[in-house]
Amino acid sequence: MKFGVNTLLYSAKFTDESTNIFRSIKDTGLDGVEIALEQKGDIDYSKTLYKLKENGLECCSICGLFGENRDIRGPNKEYIKNGISYIKDCIDACVSLECKLFVGPLYSSVGRANLESPEDKKEQWKTCVSSFKELCKYAGEKEVYMAIEPLNRFETDFINICRDAVNIINDVGSKMLKIHLDTFHMNIEEKSSGDAIIEAGDLLYHIHASENDRGAPGTGQVDWKKVKESLKKIGYDKYIVIESFTPEVRIIAKAASIWRQTEKDANTLVEKGARFLKELFG
């Protein structure tokens, strides 16, 4: 088991200057960094990789940022094209950063939450499956996996629970498509976070760790004992990444409805979360 942190805790946009946070991340005892890449060209990949290695870290994953104009489920054809192009750019970035995993709500723009008709939902599902088939072919050529993250009902109407992710993966039919679960979203949507983990099984390639209030893991109501037991049961040995937020990063705070501090600052949050997770998982 390895542990990391998502860069959105520190900045809404990761740039070359953002590599200055790597030393403090390493000092907390973490192993990796999940880079939230807004768009191609934001960073010099070779310099970022050098800085990671200089600090004894690795890029454990790249996290996608899906605004309104990046949406592979359609029906807007321009948005589908943008989404596919962006995901391919992120896959290329993974290769450059010696990373094997691209994660997040790849299937739709975040915040698109509507009461869709059954007919429209079915058509969107077909479009998404078709888009993923193209992307999985590209990912296979690059040897980079994609992991789908179910989001809570306030952030998407499309894939909310692990079963949704399993279903779309089955329809796509590619070994390059996996599951990414988040303790915050599971705490809202799943009947049991532990059962969702068991259901994901060997499809589970990534975990986001966050509390019910988006604070440091171990400080809230998430059933971490059950999460640990279930991960152990399926033999999970990949990354657990802290994805929490603070009001200081205003763009992300607005998007995630972070209106108050849960900790003194980002460093305190990471230190608490890292200590808890490492103690929990031994």
162-191 pLDDT, tens digit each: 999 999 999 999 999 999 999 999 999 999
Predicted confidence at residue 178, as pLDDT, reads 98
Whether 249 has a pLDDT exceeding 70, the answer reads no
CA atoms of 104 and 112, how far apart (whole Å): 15
Element spanning 147, H or E:
strand 145-148
**Measuring CA to CA, how many Å separate 96 from each of 19, 66, 116, 120?**
16, 21, 39, 38
Q: Identify the pLDDT of residue 25.
A: 95
Residue range of the domain that includes 237:
2-280
CB 132 within 8 A of CB 145: no
Asked if residue 74 lies in contact with residue 80, where contact means CB atoms within 8 angstroms, the answer is yes
CATH code where residue 60 lies: 3.20.20.150
* Residue 11 confidence (pLDDT) above 90: no
Report, as an integer, the average pLDDT of 20-36: 95
DSSP β-ladder status, 145-148 and 177-182: parallel
For 139-159, how does the pLDDT look when each residue is reduced to its tens digit (9 = 90+)? Answer: 999 999 999 999 999 999 999
Rounded distance between C-alpha atoms, residue 135 and residue 139, angstroms: 6
For residue 41 the two structure tokens come to 């060209």
pLDDT of residue 246: 66
Task: Report the distance separating Cα 199 and Cα 273, nearest Å.
Answer: 26
Q: Cβ neighbours of residue 125 under 8 Å, at least 6 residues apart?
A: 73, 168, 171
Summarised one tens digit per residue, pLDDT across range 180-227 is 999 999 999 999 999 999 999 999 999 999 999 999 999 999 999 999
Phi first, then psi, for residue 218 (nearest 5°) are 95, 0
Helix (H) or strand (E) holding 182: strand 177-182
56 C-beta neighbours (distance < 10 Å), count: 12
pLDDT at residue 266, rounded to an integer: 84
- Enter the DSSP assignment of 105: -
Rounded to the nearest 10 degrees, how much is the dihedral formed by the CA atoms of 23, 27, 33, 36?
-60
The most distant pair of C-alpha atoms in the chain lies apart, rounded to whole Å, by 52
| pLDDT for position 261 | 74
Q: Return the DSSP state at 173.
A: T
For 182, residues 6+ apart whose C-beta sits below 8 A from its C-beta are 149, 150, 151, 207, 208, 210, 243
Q: Give the count of domains, the chain.
A: 1
Mean pLDDT throughout 252-269? 74
Band of pLDDT at residue 254, cut at 50, 70 and 90: low
pLDDT greater than 60 at residue 247: no
Average pLDDT of the segment spanning 258-263: 68
**Torsion, Cα of 122, 128, 130, 136 (10° steps):** -150
